[in-house]
Structures are given as C-alpha cells and as structure tokens.
A = this chain, B = another copy of it.
C-alpha cells in the first residue's frame, strides 16, 4: 500500500507547482491526494507544517533525481557514475530538463522559496534544505578540483557552491517563467561551472576569496 503521508506531499508539490502556494487549499489537496481533510490535519501540524514538509520532500526528491546513476546529461549510460567535474555538471544540469517531474519540482521549490519572504515559518526548513544542497555541491567541487592537485580550502568551496546554487535558482526562475529558453539556461549554467572551476583550479585566488567571503 502506498504511504498516505507521501501521497499527500506528492499532491501538495503538484498543486503548488500548478497554482502557487496561495492556490493550495486543503479541500482541493484532499481531492488531489485521494484522502480526507482529517488525514491531512492528522499528518501535518497545520498549514505551516504542511508547507515545511513539502519543502523538505521536494529537496529530497531533487537530490534523488540529480544523484541518479544515469540521466539525459549523462553520456555514459549504465556505466559507473562519472567522477569530479562530470558529476558536478550532471548534478546541476539535471535541474534544467523539460520533463514534468523536474519542472514540477523546480516550480514548487521556487514558489515555496518565494513565499518564505512573507512566511517566516518556512525559513527553518528552507535553510536546512539549502544548506544540505550547498554542502553536496561543495563536495562535488572538491572532487572536481582534487584531481588538479590544487588544495582549496573548505570555505572557498562552500562560497563557490553557494554562488552556483543561487545562480541555478535565479536561472531556474527565468526558465520557468518562460523568459529564458531551456538550452540557454543550461549553457549559462555550464559556463558558470567552468568559470568557478577555473578560478578554483588555478589556485591563485584562494586568499582573495577567503577575505571577501569572511567579511
């Protein structure tokens, strides 16, 4: 039997991606998820609890599809997962795919993120999910740069990961709102990865990075 709580979260992500956070009504969510309103109230601590859990669910789901062994951005099919730079590129570029799951996930994430400006109760979960993503990208940057032998410090990698993920969110919002073509968004993201790796790999600007980030 399918987990009811998961069914509710899947339905919430779908409704938010379609109509936004403020288009989410518990009555409609119950219909969409095929459960009773009472069950939604049983599983989640009010609207804020439901939105926070949906944000966490979306973050986890994105981690799954960007960490899978194969995907459209992978050229290696069923072979072992790519190392370093290829894995970094695949992970970030998989967020730009014109497939329903990715589009829905990105739209719901963007919408929950935007509503956190007006809804402080969402901030805790947003910060947690965001931090986990930044750490994951910083680890990929570490793998991608370690082969060059350049010793890059943790804070420098984290700052680069913060820039890449924030850029991804900015580009994703433009793509989803229809003002930036998908292929162009992918090209800009790929270039940004190259530009960040270039400065990390060269290893000449580590001191400067640390000064600027620590301020």
Binding site for B on A (CB under 8 A): 19-20, 22-23, 107, 110-111, 113-118, 120, 122-123, 126-127, 130, 159, 162-163, 165-171, 173-174, 176-179, 183-184, 186-188, 190-192, 194-196, 198-199, 204-205, 207-209, 211-215
Nearest 9 CB-CB pairs, A to B?
A: A166-B170, A170-B170, A114-B114, A116-B177, A208-B208, A169-B170, A127-B179, A211-B212, A167-B167
The answer to whether B117 touches A173 (Cβ under 8 A) is yes
Known interface pairs A167-B166, A170-B169, A178-B123. Does A183 touch B19 (Cβ–Cβ under 8 Å)?
A: no
What 8 additional pairs, Cβ within 8 angstroms, besides A111-B117, A117-B173, A170-B171? A22-B22, A130-B179, A162-B188, A167-B167, A170-B173, A187-B214, A191-B212, A212-B215
Query: Judging by beta carbons under 8 Å apart, are A117 and B127 in contact?
Result: no
Is the CB–CB distance between A212 and B195 below 8 Å?
no
- Assuming the contacts A114-B110, A115-B20, A123-B177, asked whether A199 and B208 have C-beta atoms less than 8 A apart, the reply is no
**Residues of chain B contacted by A187 (CB below 8 angstroms):** 159, 212-215
Instruction: Write out the residue numbers on chain B whose beta carbons fall within 8 Å of the beta carbon of A196.
Output: 195
B212 touches A205 (CB 8 A): no
* Contact residues in B for A114 (Cβ distance below 8 Å): 110-111, 114, 173, 177
Known: A204-B205, A211-B212. A188 touches B159 (CB 8 A): yes
Least CB distance, A151 to chain B, in whole angstroms: 18
A selection of 5 A-B contacts at a CB cut-off of 8 Å is: A113-B177, A159-B187, A183-B215, A191-B209, A211-B212
